[in-house]
Amino acid sequence: MANHKSAIKRIRSNETKRLSNRYFHKTTRNAMKKLRLTSNKSDASTLLVEVSSMLDKLAKRNVIHKNKAGNLVGKLTRHVNALS
């Protein structure tokens, strides 16, 4: 267990950040799943803008790596472009 007051504060703040990161990551994964299941191109293109923004924010916060975010956005963009 931590002995310093600052270390105890750090443990508390890390737990808060962990829960927040987990929430945003799970929300983004659900949005990606919803986008993949969408068959209408106009709906998918509007969802793509939101999902790519969410992924960029996760990468900015270091929840996921920036290259992973880029790869996911690219795959989702290809999926939307392939819809008719």
Q: Print the domain residue range for 20.
A: 5-82
Sequence-distant contacts of 52-60: CB under 8 A, at least 24 apart: 52/76, 52/77, 54/24, 54/27, 54/28, 55/28, 57/24, 58/24, 58/25, 58/28
CATH (domain of 9): 1.20.58.110
Banded model confidence at residue 84, pLDDT cuts 50, 70, 90: confident
**How many domains would you assign to the chain?**
1
pTM, entire model: 0.88
Buried b (16+ CB within 10 A) or exposed e, 28-66: beebbeebeebeeeeebeebbeebbebbeebbeeebbee
What the block records as the tokens of 29 is: 């994964």
Average pLDDT over residues 68-72: 98
Whether 1 has a pLDDT exceeding 90, the answer reads no
